[in-house]
Structure 1
C-alpha cells in the first residue's frame, strides 16, 4: 500500500505557528500586541481560514496568545517560563542549559533522521538559509539563541510530525525565555559548531538517515559536554 499523502493543511498551520511563536519569543510581537485578523492572515499567507484557526488554537494551547471574543487575538506574557527558573535560586542558567540539551538529544537525533527521509527541495532550501544565517553570525564570533535554534526548528518541521514539532517549539520557548544574554564563543568551539551543522545538513540533503542521526548526536553531545563544563563545581 502506498504511504498516505502528507496533510498539507497541518504543515501550513504548523509553519504559521512557528513563524508567530518566533516573533513573539524574539520580542517582535510584545505582550499585549494584537494579531492580524483571520481574514488578514488568509490574504497575507494565501492559506485557508481552517489553517489560521488551527494555528491560533495551537498558539493558545502553548500559552502564547489569547482570544478575546469580539475583540481579537492578543499576545500574552511569553516570559512565564523564566518565572519558573527564578523560583529555583539554587540552579542557574548553566544547569538549565544541560537539562535542555539532554532533552534535545532525545528529540533532535531522530528528527534529523526523519528529515533526511522526508525533506522536500523547498524545505532543504529553508534549512540551508537558516544554517547560513547561523554560520555567518558565528564566524563573526557572536551567538544568538534564536538564530542558532532556527536551524533545528526547520529540521523538526521536515518530519511533518506535529508531536516532534510541538515539542521542539516548547524547547525553543524555554531557550528564548530562560537563556542568558548571548555572548561570544571561543574560536575553536565556533569552528566546531559550524562544521557539525554542515555535516548534519549534508547528510539530510543526501537523504542519508543514519549519517544524519549520527551527525546530530555528535553535535548535541559536544554541546552537552561544553554545557556541563560550565556548571559550577559543588562547593
Structure 2
C-alpha cells in the first residue's frame, strides 16, 4: 500500500529569491528520500502540504518537483500524485550530520569554509548592494541583541555568513551556504562558547567583533581586507578547536 509520509519539521531558512527557494525545497525533499523518510514507491505530500510545511509558494513547489523529476528521483502520475522512484546517488557531494559528529569533523568543514568564504568576502566587497549591507547590519544587530539576551546567537551568526554569500551576486555561494545550514556554526556541534577560557559572553563578543571587521571591509569596498578579515575569523574558530587537542598531545 502506498504511504503518504510527512516532511520533517525542519524548515530551511527563508530566502529572498525564488531560485534559492526552489533549490531549498529540492534539497529538503531529496534529503527526506536519502534518509529513508520517503522511500521508493511512497507518495510525496501534496503541493499544499509542502507549501505549508516550508512556507513557499505553489510555483516554487512545482519547480522543485520538476527538478526532482529531471533527476529521475520522482515521477508525477496525473490525477494521482507524485511518487518516489529512487534515492539520490550516494556519490554526490554531501555533508550530513554524521559528517559533523566530532571535533575533527568540525575542523575539516571549517577548512572548507576558509577557502570558500574568504573568496566570498572579497567578491562581496566588490559587488555588495545597499540591501546586502543593510542585511549584514541587521544580522550584526541581532547578534549583539542575542548576546545581551544570553542566547547562543547561532541564527544571527549563520545569517551574517549567508548574507555575505548572497552579496557575492553568485547564487552558488548562497546555495552552498544554505545547504550547509546552521550546523556549520561550530558551537552547534561542540561547546566552544561554554569552554572558552575568557567565558561565554566574552567569546561571543569576540566573534561579533570579527564579524564587524568583515562588514566594515565589505562596506568600504576593500576586497583584500575583507578576505583577510574572513580568513582571520574562520581561522580563529579553527584554531580555538585545535588548541585543546594540541594541549593533550
TM-score between both structures, scaled by the size of structure 2: 0.61
Q: Which has the higher contact order (CA 8 A, sep 6+)?
A: 1
Give the structure 1 partner of residue 135 of structure 2.
Answer: 126
Distance in 2 (alpha carbons) for counterparts of 1:20 and 1:101: 25
Q: Say yes or no: does 1:13 pair with 2:19.
A: yes
Flag the 1:147–1:57 CA change in 2: closer, same or farther, 3 A.
Answer: farther
**Displacement after TM superposition at 1:118 (Å):** 1.0
Give the structure 2 partner of residue 206 of structure 1.
Answer: 220
Gap runs ≥5 in structure 1: 1-9, 26-30, 86-91
1:105 alignment partner, SS class = helix
List aligned pairs for 1:1-235, cutoff 5 A.
12-14=18-20, 17=23, 34=45, 36=47, 49=59, 69-70=76-77, 71=81, 81-83=96-98, 92-172=101-181, 175=184, 179-180=188-189, 184-185=193-194, 186-231=200-245
RMSD over aligned CA atoms reads 4.5
Bigger-Rg structure (1/2): 2
1:69 alignment partner, SS class = strand
TM-score between both structures, scaled by the size of structure 1: 0.64
Flag the 1:189–1:181 CA change in 2: closer, same or farther, 3 A.
Answer: closer
Q: How many residues align?
A: 203
Gap runs ≥5 in structure 2: 1-15, 32-36, 39-43, 88-94, 195-199
